[in-house]
Structures are given as structure tokens and as C-alpha cells.
Chains A and B, each alone.
Chain A
């Protein structure tokens, strides 16, 4: 039992520039791989296209959050000011019978809550969608990968990809000009 079981997670290749990884990514996309990713120190402009990715749907989620915020704001002000604790200020109407005519003064609260909920949606939506926080990931076992937050660029093709083959994928990454092509295992 001394030898622990190691499962191949992915094969990674290192690139030196945004130019190199951009053109390599186009070739990976064209060769039909699906479970792969480009890791870069900064978002490379146009990389979504080079990887054949569609627009992020996060915006739709944030819109729903904003709508929730707006409705929460509307209910908060109307339920309390029209129902639970009606206040008459300067003789202004305080019930639904005046319809929208009584709502203008409540608008700032609804507006701020719309923004607040949308912002929470944007941040937590992004974090959850990206599967974060994830403090332990096979990629962190690869010592060179630490340079991804500095000045190196990596293409990682995962073993779960239908086209994945240890030898062929390695050769393919090599043909793209990748350096330090390394198998990444689940456990160090």
C-alpha cells in the first residue's frame, strides 16, 4: 500500500506569450477537444473566440437577481408604508388606490436594492459558476504552473476529454509549440 494510486488528471503545456497561446488555442479548438482550458496571467483579448466559447450567461443570472432586488424593494416599501405602518407625509397618498402616483418617493430604495442584489448576483454567480473556492486542485501539484499568475501561459487538456490519449495528446501539444509538456496527476 505504500504506492498511492495516481490518476492522470490532464496534460499541460507551457507557452511564453499571449501570441503563442492564442494561435495554439485555435488549433486545439479546431482539433475537436472539449475539456480543455487556457490558463493565462490576465484575460487575453479574443481568447473566447479562439477557444470557440460562447458568451457568458452570467448576465442573464444577474438580470434575474436585479429583478429580485427590484421586487424586494417594491414589496419592502409598499408592504410597510401602505400596510403595516401607513404614514402620511405632507398629505401624500399612502395606498395602492393612487397606483403609481404614490410610488415616486419610494424609487430610490427600489433602485438601490436592484443594484445591491445585482452586485451580489454578479460576484457570487461568478464565484459559484467558476467552482470557487477550490483550494485543492490537481494543477497546483505542477510546480511550473505557479508561473500562470506571473508571465507564463498554459494549455491544459483534461483526461476526461473523449479525444484524450496520453501519447497522442502529448504529441499534439508538442506540435503546437508547447514547452514542458507534463502529465498532471490527481495526487502528488
Chain B
């Protein structure tokens, strides 16, 4: 304990010599950066001249994104038959993609809400980008059920709006619960994201040189002045939004899973679905967060001090944890289906899942989601960005396969062999799905360009200088390179 006391007293050399590394607090922002350094390095990303590779990325992904409006127009003009769905495949790629995208969104809310409530301060440097990712993923997701209704212009029947036929929705249907859950989720995510942005928009406003930027950021910042009498209500609002988003995010994917679980189809009708879906959503979402953050870190090396090795390590650990929960759910599902239930149809559903027509989807799912993330037990792999990135791509793919396995294999072979059927996606479906990736990435690129990717004020709040009991030592400012830091890693 004497060592720790020494650490507080500021005798840093002594700490390096005597304090065991596992007791040493890992800094959230490396190199003891100052408040001003954080402002400069985050805000400069939105202020500098657009970099060449941003344009290259934009010019690649924007045309891909245009596939979405083009192909959806084609679908609306020709009818939903241009997708490959037909009996018994009422749901196929569309709902697979819907669940895939909505699941990705969950990591953003987990980081912004659940990690906030559990006081995980490392979340501060990744929450903004993860929340933005949530919004864009939910946008991609919402396209699918919206257009799958066929007559898109009548999609407003989903909402309780009085109509000329005096018909009201069936509130006992999980599909209607979905409408409420997803629209609430999107709205609350936008609000949460915007509230978090207000102080940072004020930072950009105060730094803006051009009139247009001053006006733009100024209007969005609502005239924020950072008074503590404002912060007091702000913090309360933020805390409660986090408290509201936590049950919300758990409910959204639970309700998505009810779409399946409340049906009578063998393979869908299971009580394990809600927790299994939520764990899977967080698992897939964190993989997507890393997929976006690792390249962002590469393009903007100044982010290295804020999105540290420690952050990547923690996210990899969450992927390992949730991946293992998902793996447990797969095995439990098999056990219940094949051994425990004693139900002939359940038995067949799971046997067909693993060995039937779509067995290779099942193998891909098991490999990508259960086996490959186990590499994250190794610290060396967690600390190697290339490995982390590669494993995350397997997870992204694996989570898509999981949704297809749940939806596709179940519908292909249900009760009566006479009604079994194969499914092949049409080119429209394939390219719409590719288009959603373009749309997602384009929106993220635009976000990176115009809004601070890192929550400036929250990162300031977690550095030692933010502690009102930390007496500032003016002798040292930003340390470009600290041998002490290097020794720890």
C-alpha cells in the first residue's frame, strides 16, 4: 500500500520501480494530454481541409449507397416479387438483414448507456462514434420491414393513425411491438446522441472561422455556455437518458426475437431467444465498432492517445464474453432441440439446421461466432490491431449467418416435407444488401467529416486535470513521449 500512497504523492519514479504493473492504473488518455490538446486534436478533424483518402473512400462508397434508392425504387415499381421470397420463405434476406443491422446498433447504445451507468469511464472516447453507428445501422435496418410490406406507400398503416376504414392495429402482434420498439429506439438514440453533441458543437462554434460554420454549429449548439447551473440539469438529463436507454436497448432486440419466439414454427418457438439475441447483438455490434474505429485510428493518428490499446483490448474482451454467451446459447439450443425437448419437430428442425440443406451456413456461423473469437483469450492477439480487425470481420459475417440460419433453415424445412422449399436471393436483394453497406459507410464518413468523432467534453472529464482535487503541476504539460508509458506496454 505504501507504493500506492507514493503514487498519489507524485513521486512517479518510485512508482515505476516498486509498484507492480497490475496495480498501476492504466491512463484513459495516454501521454498526460492537456485539455487544450484534446480540443485541438479532435476538433481539427472537422476543421482541416478534406483529406484525399476521405474523398477516395467517399467516391467508392457513395455510388454503392446509391444502389439502395435505385433498387428500392425498382422494387416499389415492380412489386415485392423482385425479391427472391416465396412460400415457404416469407422471410429471408430482408428480415435477416433487418435483424443484422438492428443488432449492430446495439453496441452503440450499450457503450453510451450501459457502460455509462456502470461508470466505465473508458467509454468516453468511443461513445460518440458508436452512437452515430447505431443511428446509421438502425436506418439501414428500418428500410427492410418498411419495404417488405410490399406497398410501401401504405406503410403508415403500421402506425396508429386514424384512417378511412376505421381499422386499428393489432397490438397483440409482435410485429407491431417491433414498430413501436424500433421507432422508439431510433428516436431515443437520436435524442441521446444530440444531447451528447451540444457541448461539443459549442466547442466547434467557438473555434469556427467562417461565418457559415459559426452559424451552422452555433444554431445546433443552442447557445450552450457551459454554466454549471446548466451542466447540473444536463447531467441529470444525460443520466436519465442512459437509464432509459438501458432497458430500451434490451427490450428492442428482445422484441425483435419475439417476432420469431411467439410463432409456432419449430426452431423459432423458444424462450432462450431474447437473451440470446441481445448477447448476439452486442457481440456483432462491438465487432462493427472496431471495424470502424480501427481504420479511423489509422487515418487520424492523433486519436491513438484517446482510443488506446487499452480500449481495443476491452472491446475485444467484450466480444469474447458475448461471443461465448452466444456459443452457449447455440449449444443449449441444440441440447434442448435434439435431446431434451422430446418433440419430433423440434428435433428435426435442429437436425436440419446443422446437417440439412443449409448446413454450411451453420458451419460458418459456428466457426465465425464461437470458434474464431476464442483467439481473443490471447493478449497478444487482442493487442495486434490487424488480428483484431480480421477477427471482427469474421464476427460481422458470422452474425449475418446466424440470422440467416435462424430464419432460413427454419422456414426451409418445417412440419410437412411437401411444403419444404429452397431459397435463392434475387440479384435485387443481393445488391440492396451491398447498398446498405455503402449507405452505412457513407453516412459514417459524412459524420466523421462534420462532427467531432470523439466526445471532447467527456474525454476532458476523465483526465487527471479534470479532478477538482488534483492540484495542477505547471512544470509538465503535454509529454510527447514518456519512457514510463513505453515501459508499461
Contacts and interface: CB of A to CB of B under 8 A. Distances in A.
A17 to B, nearest CB: 4
Contacts of A116: 184, 187-188
Given A108-B180, A109-B177, A126-B195, A81 B228 contact: no
Contacts of B194: 123
B224 interface: yes
A25 B230 CA distance: 16
Interface string B27-47: 000000011100100000000
B294 to A, nearest CB: 27
B457 A56 contact: no
Given A43-B231, A89-B172, A149-B203, A122 B470 contact: no
B228 A119 contact: no
B460 interface: yes
Interface residues of A, number: 72
A137 B225 contact: yes
A1 to B, nearest CB: 29
B171 A40 contact: no
A48 interface: yes
A58 B240 contact: yes
B227 A38 contact: yes
Contact of B244 (A23, A39, A115, A135): A115
A163 interface: no
Interface string B456-485: 011011000111111110000000000000
A41 B35 contact: yes
B222 interface: yes
A168 interface: no
B384 interface: no
A150 B36 contact: yes
B468 A18 contact: yes
Contacts of B203: 41, 149-150
B60 to A, nearest CB: 35
B339 interface: no
B222 A134 contact: yes
Interface in A109-130: 109, 111-113, 115-116, 118-120, 122-123, 125-127, 129-130
Contacts of B255: 108
Nearest to B203: A149
B248 interface: yes
B78 interface: no
Interface string A142-157: 0000111111000010
For A41, A109, A151, which residue has the most chain B Cβ atoms within 10 angstroms?
A41
Interface string A67-84: 000000000110011001
B23 interface: no
A32 interface: no
Contact of B226 (A45, A118, A119, A149): A149
Nearest to B205: A149
Contact of B191 (A16, A123, A132, A148): A123
B218 A135 contact: yes
A129 B168 CA distance: 37
Contact of B170 (A20, A37, A87): A87
B167 interface: yes
Contacts of B470: 18-19
B207 to A, nearest CB: 8
17 contacts: A40-B226, A42-B199, A62-B237, A80-B169, A108-B174, A113-B180, A113-B184, A119-B188, A122-B237, A126-B195, A126-B233, A126-B237, A130-B229, A132-B224, A148-B226, A149-B202, A149-B205
Interface of B: 34-36, 39, 160, 166-174, 176-177, 180-181, 184, 187-188, 191-192, 194-195, 199, 202-203, 205-207, 218-219, 222-237, 240-241, 244-245, 247-248, 251, 255, 258, 457-458, 460-461, 465-472
